[in-house]
Amino acid sequence: MIFDLSHPDIRRAIDTALAEDIGPGDITTESTIPADLQAEAQFIAKQDLVLAGSELLAILFDHPAIQKNSGARLAPADTIATVQACARILLTRERVALNFLQRLSGIATLTAKFVAAVEGTGVRILDTRKTTPGLRILEKMAAAAGGTVNHRMGLYDAVLIKNNHIAMAGGVRPAIERARAAKRPIEIEVRTRTEIEEALVCGAQRLLLDNMTPTQAATEVAFIAKRAETEISGGVTLENVRAYAEARPDFISSGAITHSAPAVDIHCRIYAVR
């Protein structure tokens, strides 16, 4: 399952969202809806989309009937899940459920477009750390549902030496030499042929070609010639990702997957059960 509901950050995010929206109580629902009224909610796709986050409904509601799982391709009018519960519960949690489904499915849908755009090139699309604060695990799971290879989760699980690290460490060589203490594979951002050559001599396992044009990237990937893995990043969009993929790097990363994905249209219909 792409969405691991045992991860503590998931329940924390949902609890925070519920507390933010409900506060001390849903005054509209509590004042208008009988406490014993039962109802059914249907979560329905209103557009073509790649689903992400339907498994979260099992945390928000008791025993939802989930019909489509994360990663499923949906068409308009496809039912994602149905939930039978107290009407007050459904009305109070409807918006939080939709916020998660719409946001996460938006990421999965955009990701799938990036993956489709590079089909046949052998390039793998990576997500980044450009996520909504507090929602990283969920947004990276959504990106995986759309077909990415998840990059590092945070600063703690991989070495990625960026331009500012290089500047403050005194150059490519001292930065790499100091990074060896972490005993992890070393990836380093490079912007010039000189930096590329130095990084290769120092044994970097992956080179991040940053803010190059597709033509420049193709030249440098050819020069590197598989002596290290290559990743292209910086300015990558859905419109130009194919051009970058034609340079034949191993990976392309794009922050747009998470920071610029539009929410998709998912509807919740609630009916009283008499």
Distance in angstroms (rounded) separating the CA atoms of residues 219 and 259: 29
Averages of pLDDT over runs of 10 residues in the chain (274 residues) are 84 97 97 97 98 97 96 98 98 98 98 98 96 96 95 92 96 96 95 96 97 96 98 95 98 96 98 88
Q: Are 87 and 184 part of one and the same domain?
A: no
Residue ranges of alpha helices (H) inside 147-203 are 163-169, 172-179, 193-201
Give how many domains the chain has, as a whole number: 2
Q: Which pLDDT score, from 0 to 100, does residue 150 have?
A: 86
* Global pTM value: 0.95
Distance in angstroms (rounded) separating the CA atoms of residues 139 and 257: 9
Question: Does 3 fall in a domain?
Answer: no
Question: Does 163 fall in a domain?
Answer: yes
Q: Are 15 and 89 part of one and the same domain?
A: yes
Any idea what DSSP says for residue 187?
E
Q: Which pLDDT score, from 0 to 100, does residue 230 have?
A: 98
Nearest to 169 by CA among 198, 127, 142: 198
Question: Does 2 fall in a domain?
Answer: no
| pLDDT tens column, 61-113 | 999 999 999 999 999 999 999 999 999 999 999 999 999 999 999 999 999 99
- Any idea which residues carry the catalytic annotation? 95, 130, 162, 189, 210
Question: Does 254 fall in a domain?
Answer: yes
CATH for 159: 3.20.20.70
Nearest to 162 by CA among 184, 179, 142: 179
Q: Are 14 and 136 part of one and the same domain?
A: no
Q: Are 222 and 98 part of one and the same domain?
A: no
Token code pair at residue 238? 């859905």
Question: Does 226 fall in a domain?
Answer: yes
Range of the domain at 50: 8-115+261-273
Q: Are 142 and 49 part of one and the same domain?
A: no
